[in-house]
Chains A and B, each alone.
Chain A
Amino acid sequence: MALAPLILFLPLLGAVVIALFGQFLQRTTCAIIGNISILLPFMLTTGLAIAVFRLPPEQQAVYAHPHAIGYWAHMPPLLTIPFRLLLDPLALLWMLIITGVGFLIHLYSVGYMAPERNYRQFFSYMNLFVFTMLLLVMTDNFLLLLIGWAGVGLASYLLIGFHYRRPAAVLAARKALIMNVIGDVGIMIAIFVMYVHYGSVSYEDVFGNVGAVSRSTLTWIGIWLLLGAVAKSAQLPLHTWLPDAMEGPTPVSALIHAATMVTAGVYLIARAHPIYDNAPLAAEIVAVVGGATALFAATIGCVQYDIKRVLAYSTMSQIGYMILAVGVGAYAAGAFHFMTHAFFKALLFLSAGIVIHALSGEQDIRKMGGLAVRLPFAYWTFLIGTVAIAGIFPFSGFFSKDAVLEQVLAHRHVWLYWFAVAAAGLTAFYMFRLLFLTFFSGAYRGEQKVHTHTDSTMTVPVGILAVLSVVGGWLVLPNHDELSIALRSSFVGTPYPQSMAEFNGSLSLEVLVIAAGGIALAWLAYQIAPKITLSANAALAPIHKFVYNAYYVDVLYHWLFEWPVYALAGACARFFEPVAIGALPRLATGIATRFARLSTSWENGYLRRYGLTFVAAAALLLILYLYLVRGAFAGAVQ
């Protein structure tokens, strides 16, 4: 337990060391520092997790230190925020994924980022991200959670804009930051409300007295927290930043925009479960947002051509599942899907990264095709990821998606259940569409040369993730539910059953059949009869274009939010500022300038002008002398 702060601060140390001294170190040294400072925390977390899970459930909410390590704020009667680390099973699950998957992606980056100029900086930013993400999940109060929350937003901004010479990357980074800050404000307001009603922002005090405030207040807290979760997890209606965030390097997309950061919203709602348990309306909104996003994003994923954009929309869709799960009260199922998703989505991104790397940066699947033969390793791993995300037995996605769907139905959200099932069918369709277009569908269509060599630092993590994507779901088997037992102590007091041990055979079969239908459709459309698909696309061109442009939400936001601001600013610049703000200083400078011109105009540089000044001044002085002194003298005589 005493080593827990090390888990948090080693990545920070790595980030600072690389940022300050990186330029004096070898590139490889920086990469090693970056990797070690994630590997050690992973090993420590593993040890800690084993220790904590062995404890009896009622003792599992472990604080790293019995007393605070320090104080974030210390104003005793008003507010005291100690700096403590809470290591309960929920936090440990997230920590394991953050450090474990994080380490694999760091390792992958060693090879993937090798051609980059700012190689050292990359590891510094990645370590900073891991630090802030760990802070987010390890803290025991909402204020430090918000700090970690904003910190991951910052790291995400830095990494999306990593190719800062590309205008698109800079714009995407800015967009992500702005939309995330909207969420940060939501959490801030939630914290204010909590402080007003509970006088504290620690989980212990807030959740311990959750029933002490009215239900409407709890609903409002839940809604403000949801705003934060929606922004961070790219749910409707604040989702538009995530597809653009694919401008960042692929390892960033894998770690931040698939496996960890975007699932912070799921963590937040699972963590704040006592609030949602007591505010059914807020929980209902959470579930609806998740279910709607799952289906919405899946439809867009079906028509995208950028390999990473398809994966981005599938991430949105899968996080929609998790949000749906935690919204209906299936917290353990949401966490389970988070875990398997981290495995297979990181795997998909990383093997897509191998393809992109082999094609020197090409991401358009229309310029791929036939790569299964040339890049067999990428193909097989991508296939495993695709099968896992499509939810095919016995890959990990099957178990977690099944657990989510089962609980959604068990909690009687029939509409949302059908949303989720439709999204599952679409997921299978678009993922296999992606697989076929990339690795099959005739010969290679691109112009880039295919580099078949892949660095071992890239293949090893991908291999490990492939194995995890297969076996990750076996934590929860019928009548043998390890995960929800492990997580039990984090969800004490929830009225919803968390166990995923029961197995609804007909439901699983239904979902399997729908997924298989999606796969079959993709196979028909892109392998058997691609020409019919093309003509169908052409026939449905308006709809295709509408969906391809993500339902024009970006355009809508442009006209709703950006345009009025630009128009107002333009009007101010043109009319308000010159008149209201500019007038007075302009008057003052005008007077001063006129006066200065008048006096300088006398000094025109001509010598005779100066001579005249001389003579005139002398004459004036003489007159003055005669008038004053002589006149005075004359007066004295009289």
Chain B
Amino acid sequence: MPQIPLNLYVGLSAALFVVGAVGFLLRRNPITMLMAIELMWNAANLAFAAFARNFIDMSGQIFVFLVITVAAAEAAIALAIVVMVFRHRVNADVDDISVMRG
């Protein structure tokens, strides 16, 4: 079975990251933005896993588990914030909650 070359994994990872980053920057719906963030996390995870396999080094895979944990925590907090914003405002547009600008 011919191995899928590393470059393809890294290319897919980069593409996913760019999609996530652009989505985060362009969309205004907080839920969509969270999904975009999730996409970026997973792009990073893919890169970790691919490199780990390529170099036969398990630490990359361990990082993937760590990232999944942190991402879950982040999603929980972010969703809680989004719910609170929904309660106070009718539509959820992140541009409306700019009162805490520095």
Contacts and interface: CB of A to CB of B under 8 A. Distances in A.
B71 interface: no
B101 interface: yes
A605 B101 CA distance: 4
A615 B21 contact: yes
Interface residues of A, number: 10
B4 interface: no
B94 A603 contact: no
Contacts, number: 31
B5 interface: no
A603 B102 contact: yes
Interface string B82-102: 000000000000110111111
B88 to A, nearest CB: 16
A604 B25 contact: no
Interface string A232-254: 00000000000000000000000
Nearest to B100: A605
B24 interface: yes
Contacts of B24: 608, 611
B26 to A, nearest CB: 8
Nearest to A607: B94
B64 interface: no
A616 to B, nearest CB: 10
Contact of A606 (B21, B94, B102): B94
A611 B27 CA distance: 11
Nearest to B21: A615
Interface string B3-40: 00000000000000000010011101000010000000
A612 interface: yes
Contacts of B95: 606-608
Interface in A589-611: 600, 603-608, 611
A600 B101 CA distance: 9
A608 B25 CA distance: 5
Given A606-B94, A607-B33, A607-B94, A615 B99 contact: no
A605 B24 CA distance: 15
Contact of B98 (A600, A604, A611, A612): A604
Contacts of B25: 608, 611-612, 615
Nearest to A612: B25
B65 to A, nearest CB: 23
Contacts of B101: 603-606
A603 B33 CA distance: 19
Contacts of A608: 24-26, 28, 94-95
Given A607-B33, A611-B25, A600 B94 contact: no
Contacts of B33: 607
A615 B17 CA distance: 11
B30 to A, nearest CB: 8
B64 to A, nearest CB: 20
A605 B21 contact: no
Contacts of A606: 94-95, 98, 101
Contacts of A615: 21, 25
B14 to A, nearest CB: 12
A608 B33 CA distance: 10
Contacts of B98: 604-607
A600 B102 contact: yes
A448 B40 CA distance: 93
Given A606-B101, A607-B97, 13 more contacts: A600-B102, A604-B98, A604-B101, A605-B97, A605-B101, A606-B94, A607-B33, A608-B28, A611-B21, A611-B24, A611-B25, A612-B25, A615-B21
8 contacts: A605-B97, A605-B98, A606-B95, A607-B94, A607-B97, A608-B94, A611-B25, A615-B21
Interface of A: 600, 603-608, 611-612, 615
